[in-house]
Amino acid sequence: MADRKVISIDGMGGDHAPGIVVEGLERFAQQRSEFHFLLHGDEAKLKALLANAPTAAPRTTIRHTAQAIAMDAKPGQAVRRGKGSSMWNAIESVKNGEAVAAVSAGNTGVLMGMSLLILRTIEGLRRPALVAGWPTRKGISAVLDLGADIDADAEQLVEFAIMGQAYFKAVHHKDNPSIGLLNIGSEELKGHESIRDAAKLIRESGIKMNFHGFVEGDDIAKGTVDVVVTDGFTGNVALKTVEGLAKMISEMLMEALMKSGPLVMLGALLAMPALKKFRATLDPRKVNGAVLLGLNGIVVKSHGGTDKVGFAQAISVAAEMGESRARAEIEESLKRLLASPAAQQQAVAAAPEAAK
Amino acid sequence: MADRKVISIDGMGGDHAPGIVVEGLERFAQQRSEFHFLLHGDEAKLKALLANAPTAAPRTTIRHTAQAIAMDAKPGQAVRRGKGSSMWNAIESVKNGEAVAAVSAGNTGVLMGMSLLILRTIEGLRRPALVAGWPTRKGISAVLDLGADIDADAEQLVEFAIMGQAYFKAVHHKDNPSIGLLNIGSEELKGHESIRDAAKLIRESGIKMNFHGFVEGDDIAKGTVDVVVTDGFTGNVALKTVEGLAKMISEMLMEALMKSGPLVMLGALLAMPALKKFRATLDPRKVNGAVLLGLNGIVVKSHGGTDKVGFAQAISVAAEMGESRARAEIEESLKRLLASPAAQQQAVAAAPEAAK
């Protein structure tokens, strides 16, 4: 069935599920005629919604389950007790080969925990990472890890670089994307030891990578590199900080334009096409769909509060990843890394640490 | 002489020094008539510039030195060899009691190293921290550490909280500012152990603090708390990431308005008063002046590329800090912290780590 290009969808995950899930599915189905869908969730509700999704409906198979994961579920418990839920079943369809990728807008922590439990990490890889697109001056870059884990040692940062590279090739169709390690100060001597060691390891390990070296926070918006690699704590803080600022700027701009008297309002109306274009370049829906990389199967996390446009984009990311050679490329690079004398040295050096 | 409210200024630090330094000084002198100034640097150049600064000139004493720290100096070397430079002498004027605070727009790393060497940390404090204002939906918050150090254990995070509290009271005149610890996820169980331990320590140590608990990245722009506490690596990355985004947004907005045909341009012109107001709320000059907290004396770092408005703002931060009870408050809170059973427990627990 995987040959038929099937995407598995958690119909019940997200703040506005299942409504926007089916609307997003319909939108994606209109764009890509070759995909079929497995839709997991409450059959009665999903069936009713599919009645208004004429393009998707003929290509969609509903898999009924009454169980769904609450958006505010506690990850630990929900992962253990979630077997048979729409989220669980969506991931399991990837494991058993029925689908090339799964998409859910449900609880992030539960989705990550469940995906890890069901799909397991690629052999030789220590930890998965969460990656997403990031709007820049030049277009879109990718940043990872956005919070799959909180720490990352040198070897994990190199794993992230390898996975980010494969992701960027798959989703953004660039052959030799440039990779940078996020640091403070661009001098070799600054920053955490793990970051400096990771740079050394990438250079010495013989993995094929267009490695730029260190980048700083402001390089992300500049689009200095295609893939920015950092630990999950820093990545998550940077992402949320920027989301907060973007929202604030957008709101304040509209307030300033709408509350400054009739002449300014007239001006704003005249300038509206440009203002809309400007807002579109920062539209978070355009980069919706974070990929949980490093598992034996593709899982895409949609923003929980997105609309149909955003959800369709998340399905599209799943489609690109599912069709790509990303996993094979990650496995090849990992083999090179693990076989390299540089990595073996680091493993020996790190051993006493790990044994503590 | 400190009774005369003297501020010591590095006349030669910054991308556009000494020109904007003297222009900024003149601007500040016009706002605050009670301050006098010690201006360190090339006497001939500074004298010529002061001829065009009629308000500041009568209250300014030039202290000549031919030595200046290059903006691209390597911190390690420059700190050791920098004795007698305008930056060094500006800090030394604080040490010997001639001035209540020093301001420099010079190389950040050198300024931090030199300040630490000359002024030393407040007794009982482990490490200094760099703090600055951050524009939010509600006004201005403070974030620290912005990069004085790269790591922070639980006790250092509590020190940062104490210093941030004193800074916010001094510079933003709010009696009981709220303090939050930057984390990922607001649940008690998420994030680095050091952050969870710091929260526990603040709650159990008996220091007087309006402690909010954990905040996430998007809470910064929301202005959820007055003071956001994080380690220097995360703080520096967040700051630079946001600076990069703000610059990108500002440029893209202007491009969109100016390159979209005559009607949009007319609209933009009509809306210009509101657009200017909008840009002013995000004006980085308004929050220029990062304070190096935790030393036996106040040192303020101005952005190297700022103009006279920004430099005057940095002097103003120095003035507020110099006049405040910030240092006494930091010392009082530190005493409480060090005397608390909670801190002593943590110190014992941390000891084997430190002894490694």
pLDDT given for residue A206 in this prediction:
84
The residue among B72, B233, B258 with the most chain A CBs within 10 A of its CB, best to mutate, is: B233
Per-residue model confidence as pLDDT tens digits over A243-284: 998 888 888 888 888 877 888 888 888 888 888 888 887 788
For the record, the structure tokens of B283 come out as 């004006």
Q: Which of B185, B218, B268 sits opposite A244 (nearest CB)?
A: B218
Question: What average pLDDT does chain B have?
Answer: 90
Phi, psi of B334, rounded to the nearest 5 degrees: -60, -40
B302 has pLDDT over 70: yes
**Does residue B145 have a cis peptide bond before it, meaning omega lies within 30 degrees of 0?**
yes
Interval B86-131: pLDDT, tens: 999 999 999 999 999 999 999 999 999 999 999 999 998 999 999 9
Of residues B237, B253, B277, nearest to A184 (C-beta): B237
Question: Lowest-confidence range among A78-87, A258-267, B46-55, B165-174?
Answer: A258-267
- A221·B247 Cβ contact <8 A: yes
pLDDT tens per residue across span B307-339: 999 999 999 999 999 999 998 899 999 988 888
* Cα–Cα distance for residue pair B223/B243, rounded to 1 Å: 17
A136, A243, A268 ranked by CB distance to B267: nearest: A268
Determine the CATH number of domain B133-285+338-356: 3.40.718.10
- Rounded Cα–Cα distance for residues B8 and B103 (Å): 6
d(CA B249, CA A120) in angstroms, rounded, equals 40
The minimal CB distance from B278 to the residues A151, A240, A253 is found for A253
Helix segments in A259-340, DSSP class H: 262-281, 308-323, 326-339
Would you state the pLDDT for residue A354? 42
Confidence of residue B353 (pLDDT cuts 50, 70, 90): very low
pLDDT at A121: 95
Q: How close A273 comes to chain B (CA, Å)?
A: 7
The yes-or-no verdict on residue B189 having pLDDT over 80 is: no
Which residues in chain A come in under a pLDDT of 50?
A: 1-2, 186, 188, 352-356
Q: Which residues in chain A are contacts of B257 at CB distance < 8 A?
A: 271, 274-275, 278
Chain B: give the shortest CA distance to residue A298, in Å: 24
Of B150, B216, B271, the CB nearest to A184: B150
- Distant-in-sequence, close-in-space partners of B186: CB < 8 Å, separation ≥ 6: B213, B214, B215, B216
Closest CA to B214 of B178, B175, B162: B178
Range B50-77 average pLDDT: 94
Residue appearing with tokens 């925990």: A113
Domain A132-284+325-356 -> CATH class: alpha beta
More confident residue, A247 or B143: B143
Chain B residues touching residue A270 (CB < 8 angstroms): 263-264, 266-268, 270
Chain A interface disruption, residue of B136, B137, B184, most A CBs within 10 A: B184
Q: What is the pLDDT of residues A95-112, one digit of tens each?
A: 999 999 999 999 999 999
Tokens of A28: 């994606």
Tell me which residue has tokens 């159990």: B204
A3 min Cα distance to partner chain B (Å): 39
Structural contact between residues A187 and B107, judged by C-beta atoms closer than 8 angstroms: no
Where do the DSSP E strands lie in chain A? 6-10, 36-41, 60-64, 101-104, 129-136, 139-144, 178-182, 210-215, 227-229, 290-293, 298-301
Which of these ranges, A242-246, B157-161, B182-186, B203-207, has the smallest mean pLDDT?
A: B182-186
pLDDT at B190 over 90: no
**Sign of torsion over alpha carbons B313, B315, B320, B326:** positive
Closest chain B residue by Cα to residue A250:
B249
Lowest-pLDDT range, B186-190, B216-220, B238-242, B256-260? B186-190
Q: Is the pLDDT of residue B225 over 90?
A: yes
**Percent of chain B whose predicted confidence (pLDDT) is above 90:** 70
Question: Where does the pLDDT of residue B188 fall: very low under 50, low under 70, confident under 90, or very high at 90 and above?
Answer: very low
Do the domains spanning B1-120+295-324 and B133-285+338-356 agree at the CATH topology level?
Answer: yes
Q: Do A245 and B244 touch (CB under 8 A)?
A: no
The encoded tokens of residue B104 equal 């420099």
- Min mean pLDDT across A57-61, B8-12, B301-305, B334-338 is at B334-338
Would you kindly state where each structural domain of chain B is located, as residue ranges?
1-120+295-324, 133-285+338-356
In this prediction, residue B1 carries a pLDDT of 42
**What's the mean pLDDT in B47-58?**
97
Of residues B184, B277, B282, nearest to A150 (C-beta): B184
Q: How close A64 comes to chain B (CA, Å)? A: 32
- d(CA A314, nearest CA chain B) in Å: 22
CA-atom Rg of chain B in angstroms: 21
pLDDT level of residue B286 (50, 70, 90 thresholds): confident
Nearest CA in chain A to B253: A278
Superfamily for the A1-120+295-324 domain: Isopropylmalate Dehydrogenase (3.40.718.10)
Burial class (CB in 10 A: 0-12, 13-18, 19+), A71: middle
| Cβ within 8 Å of residue B294, ≥6 positions away | B121, B122, B125, B127, B128, B129, B159, B163, B330
Residue B175, CA distances (Å) to B87, B90, B210 in order: 33, 31, 10
Residue A228's pLDDT is 98
- Highest mean pLDDT (candidates B27-41, B195-209, B262-276): B27-41
CB distance B257–A275 less than 8 Å? Answer: yes
Residue with tokens 């991931």: A91
Contact A150 B217 (CB under 8 A): no
* pLDDT for res A317: 96
Pairwise CB contact (< 8 Å): B270 & A267: yes
The pLDDT, as a whole number, for residue A349 is 61
Q: State the best of A192, A228, A236, A245 to mutate against chain B, taking most chain B CBs within 10 Å.
A: A245
What pLDDT, on a 0 to 100 scale, did the predictor assign at position A265? Answer: 85
